[in-house]
């Protein structure tokens, strides 16, 4: 098999000839209740960890206490019983979902040590327990009639059931031993008519096809994406994105070719867009959905104002269209030649590892709604420290003869001394306090008006003596920034007729607004 995941451990040994497990006579209601109890406990565990309520070591201990051999046997034996199989599928799905959420939270925190290895090992242990009969039972369940009285609380819809089954089969193809992979692909092929409409299984289905079927499949996708008014357009885009994100290199390359065909109509560089999106939006399904939201935003913008996507990309570097309110983008296109109007800048990095910048769209629209009509807003995106300088220089060449930047929102994941402006850990991917004190930064003050305001939407940058403080000193600006890890909550603008005055409130730990910002002048 071609699937491989370098970050994963070696697949556990799998016995494809293992005889079916013997399912004893059981009390169905008790079994279902135990499965629901286990699923709920796992969901609460991942929820608490994501919100920082428990430490990694405690999570590791609780996982071991929940995923005991006894509980594992409960799930797998129940899978082979027609009366409890759907509940077992729900329970198994909860196990994998919870482990994935915990894994993603570890990665988001930048911790890739022993605890992350433990989560991988736990997942592989579970996958190793699927024998041939378990896998075929999953596939057979795609045809199991749903009894609303018995199973309505477990699966709301047939699509919900098929989604859970399909994703588990896909995990077996990606992370299982060779025999497990073969059985899972065969099971998918046998039920292809049921599975093929689910976009997250596209790469698995593609592998199961013969060459003739693959040619027809690609032709169908090209037909689907030929016109966004086609009924199959959205399905076509979804399937192409899944192919691009496949761990199988051959499948990935097929996806890249189709992706270029799908996005070339926008007049952009599809490969650059995908490279940026692939490093943004979170992990797993979150990343896939992030890519789809961006394509949807581009489609909507292009339908309203043809040619706008290409213009915003080539003139302002915008790639992540789902971050911004569409009215702001259309207004930016229409006002791009208004060089005499005062203006402000919204500057974000290309990449966003967890997709949090999308959450700023409301506050950006709030800013636009409060600004006097005479003001324009120019949204920019760039990558790396050099990219920031080039973007501001390009802007100054076009507008600087008549107007300088009066205010700026600078977004990016940050610490007290740094704002991240690209993927990776190199110094070129970030803007540091030391960079602001270097000789090359002296020119930056020439891009701004006298006494500008800079608002940092970047965690912890407002710590005294940190990057916000140094930025204020360097360019003679009022700089507003948070001194803790947080997110912007609300923005306020006052206009005295000559000058704008800004204030920002950042979110508290509980998600409510009201954290005051640090202000340096």
Q: How far is CA 109 from CA 49, 104, 174, in A?
A: 11, 9, 25
Q: State the pLDDT confidence band at 21, using cuts at 50, 70 and 90.
A: very low
What is the rounded average pLDDT of the residues 308-314? Answer: 98
Q: Are residues 279 and 343 in the same domain?
A: no
Encode pLDDT of 435-476 as tens digits.
766 666 667 788 999 999 999 999 999 999 899 998 998 888
Q: Are residues 288 and 342 in the same domain?
A: no
The kind and range of the H/E element at 124 are helix 114-128
Q: How far is CA 156 from CA 56, 146, 153, in A?
A: 33, 10, 7
Distance CA 351, CA 318 (A): 11
Q: Tokens 């930056």 appear where?
A: 444
Asked whether the predicted pLDDT for residue 426 surpasses 90, the reply is no
* 245, 278 Cβ separation under 8 angstroms: yes
Give the end of a domain, one of 251, 271, 296.
296
Instruction: Flag whether 106 is in a domain.
Output: yes
Token readout for 334 is 């229409």
Of 65-79, 203-217, 231-245, 263-277, which range is least confident? 203-217
Asked whether the predicted pLDDT for residue 15 surpasses 90, the reply is no
Instruction: Flag whether 206 is in a domain.
Output: no
Mean pLDDT of the residues in the chain? 82
What is the rounded average pLDDT of the residues 413-436? Answer: 76
Higher per-residue confidence, 280 vs 187: 280
Q: Are residues 174 and 286 in the same domain?
A: no
Instruction: Flag whether 433 is in a domain.
Output: yes
Q: Are residues 353 and 469 in the same domain?
A: yes
Q: At what angle do helices 132-140 and 158-175 cross, to 10 degrees?
A: 150
Q: State the pLDDT confidence band at 345, using cuts at 50, 70 and 90.
A: very high
Q: Tokens 């912007």 appear where?
A: 488
* 88, 35 Cβ separation under 8 angstroms: yes
* 355, 290 Cβ separation under 8 angstroms: yes
Q: Are residues 153 and 258 in the same domain?
A: no
In this prediction, residue 152 carries a pLDDT of 40
Q: How many CB atoms lie within 10 A of CB 451?
A: 12
Q: Are residues 361 and 451 in the same domain?
A: yes
Instruction: Flag whether 123 is in a domain.
Output: yes
Instruction: Flag whether 23 is in a domain.
Output: no
Distance CA 347, CA 336 (A): 16
Q: State the pLDDT confidence band at 353, using cuts at 50, 70 and 90.
A: confident
Q: Are residues 471 and 344 in the same domain?
A: yes
Asked whether the predicted pLDDT for residue 361 surpasses 80, the reply is yes
Q: In total, how many domains does the chain have?
A: 3
Asked whether the predicted pLDDT for residue 5 surpasses 60, the reply is no
Encode pLDDT of 61-74 as tens digits.
888 888 888 888 88
Q: What is the dihedral sign for C-alpha 118, 122, 125, 127?
A: negative
Give the end of a domain, one of 266, 296, 326.
296
Q: Are residues 275 and 355 in the same domain?
A: no
Overall pTM surpassing 0.85 (yes/no): no
Closest residue by Cα to residue 179 from 217, 213, 145, 135: 135
In this prediction, residue 26 carries a pLDDT of 53
Q: Are residues 286 and 326 in the same domain?
A: no
Domain that holds residue 420: 298-520
Token readout for 432 is 């540091």
Q: Are residues 344 and 473 in the same domain?
A: yes
Coil, strand, or helix at residue 415? strand
What single string gives the DSSP state of each residue in 178-232?
HHHHHHHHHHHHHTHHHHTT-GGGHHHHHHHS-HHHHHHHHHHHHHHTT-TTSTT
Encode pLDDT of 151-180 as tens digits.
444 444 666 777 778 778 877 877 788 888
Distance CA 324, CA 363 (A): 10
In this prediction, residue 191 carries a pLDDT of 54
Closest residue by Cα to residue 467 from 420, 433, 419: 433
The kind and range of the H/E element at 149 are helix 148-151
In this prediction, residue 148 carries a pLDDT of 46
Encode pLDDT of 89-106 as tens digits.
888 888 888 888 887 777
């Amino acid at each position: 098999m071609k699937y491989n995941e370098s970050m994963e451990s070696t697949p556990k040994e799998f016995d494809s000839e293992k005889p079916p497990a013997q399912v004893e006579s059981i009390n169905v209601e008790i079994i279902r209740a135990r499965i629901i109890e286990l699923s709920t406990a796992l969901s609460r565990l991942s929820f608490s960890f994501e919100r920082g309520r428990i430490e990694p070591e405690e999570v590791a201990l609780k996982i071991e206490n929940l995923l005991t051999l006894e509980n594992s046997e409960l799930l797998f034996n129940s899978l082979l019983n027609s009366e409890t199989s759907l509940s077992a599928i729900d329970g198994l799905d909860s196990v994998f979902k919870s482990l994935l959420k915990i894994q993603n939270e570890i990665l988001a925190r930048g911790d890739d040590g022993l605890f992350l290895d433990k989560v991988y090992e736990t997942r592989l242990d579970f996958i190793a327990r699927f024998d041939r009969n378990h896998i075929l039972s999953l596939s057979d369940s795609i045809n199991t009639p749903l009894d609303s009285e018995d199973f309505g609380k477990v699966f709301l819809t047939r699509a919900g059931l098929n989604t859970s089954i399909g994703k588990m089969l896909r995990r077996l193809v990606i992370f299982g031993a060779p025999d497990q992979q073969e059985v899972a692909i065969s099971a998918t092929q046998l039920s292809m008519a049921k599975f093929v409409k689910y976009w997250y299984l596209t790469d698995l289905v593609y592998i199961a096809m013969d060459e003739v079927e693959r040619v027809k499949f690609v032709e169908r996708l090209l037909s689907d994406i030929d016109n966004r008014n086609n009924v199959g357009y959205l399905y076509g885009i979804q399937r192409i994105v899944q192919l691009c994100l496949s761990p199988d290199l051959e499948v990935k390359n097929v996806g890249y070719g189709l992706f270029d065909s799908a996005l070339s109509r926008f007049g952009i560089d599809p490969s650059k867009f995908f490279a940026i999106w692939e490093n943004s939006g979170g992990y797993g399904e979150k990343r896939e959905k992030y890519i789809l939201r961006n394509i949807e935003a581009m489609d909507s913008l292009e339908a309203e104002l043809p040619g706008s996507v290409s213009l915003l990309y080539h003139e302002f570097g915008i790639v992540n269209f789902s971050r911004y309110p569409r009215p702001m983008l259309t207004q930016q296109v229409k006002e791009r030649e208004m060089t005499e109007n005062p203006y402000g800048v919204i500057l974000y990095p290309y990449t966003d590892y967890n997709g949090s910048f999308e959450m700023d769209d409301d506050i950006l629209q709030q800013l636009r709604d409060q600004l006097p009509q005479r003001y324009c807003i120019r949204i920019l995106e760039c990558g790396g420290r050099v990219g920031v300088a080039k973007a501001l220089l390009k802007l100054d060449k076009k507008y600087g003869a008549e107007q300088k930047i009066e205010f700026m929102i600078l977004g990016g994941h940050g610490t007290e001394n740094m704002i991240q402006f690209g993927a990776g850990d190199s110094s070129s991917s970030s803007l540091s306090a030391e960079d602001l004190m270097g000789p090359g930064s002296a020119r930056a003050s020439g891009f701004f008006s006298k006494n500008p305001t800079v608002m940092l939407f970047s965690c912890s940058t407002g710590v005294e003596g940190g990057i916000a403080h140094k930025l204020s000193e360097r360019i003679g600006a009022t700089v507003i920034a948070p001194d803790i890890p947080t997110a912007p909550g609300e923005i306020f603008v006052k206009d005295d007729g000559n000058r704008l005055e800004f204030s920002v409130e950042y979110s508290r730990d509980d998600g409510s607004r009201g954290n005051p910002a640090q202000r340096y002048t």
